[in-house]
Amino acid sequence: MPRIVVDVMPKPEILDPQGKAIAGALPRLGFTGFAEVRQGKRFELTIEGDVTEEVLEHARSAATTLLSNPVIEDVTRVEVIEDAQ
Closest CA to 10 of 76, 77, 74: 74
- Shortest Å distance, C-beta 33 to a second copy: 4
Distance CA 64, CA 33 (A): 34
Q: Minimum Å distance from CB 45 to a second copy?
A: 5
Q: Does 69 bind a second copy (CB under 8 A)?
A: no
**Coil vs helix vs strand at 8:** strand
How far is Cα 75 from Cα 45, in angstroms, rounded to an integer?
Answer: 15
By beta-carbon proximity to a second copy, the closer residue of 1 and 14 is 1
Strand partners, 75: 8
**Measured from the CB of residue 11, what is the shortest distance to a second copy in angstroms?**
12
Report the interface residues with a second copy, using CB under 8 A.
Answer: 1, 7-9, 19, 22, 25-26, 29-49, 52, 54-55, 58-59, 61-62, 65-67, 76-77, 84-85
